[in-house]
Amino acid sequence: MAVSVLDARGLKCPQPTLKITVLAVKMKPGDILEVVADCPTFEKDVRDWCSRARKTLLWVRDEGTAKKVQIQF
């Protein structure tokens, strides 16, 4: 199980979820992607993305003005 990190701060939605989609093809089952983004709709967007992609959203945390999430593939 590998953990990858994506810093999407400064990107406006939908760019953070588009970057997640690009990385998703490289992820193996059980891998974890940790993403931090400061787009105001990021939490809703990542929840919707996980639901559509059938991936597990492990947690969402506040990181100052940004949100940090972990997605399990």
* Radius of gyration, CA atoms only, the chain: 11
Pairing of strands 3-7, 32-37: parallel
Q: Is 63 left (phi over 0), alpha (psi -120 to 50) or beta?
A: beta
First to last CA, the chain: 10
| pLDDT tens for each residue of 43-52 | 999 999 999 9
| pLDDT tens for each residue of 8-60 | 999 999 999 999 999 999 999 999 999 999 999 999 999 999 999 999 999 99
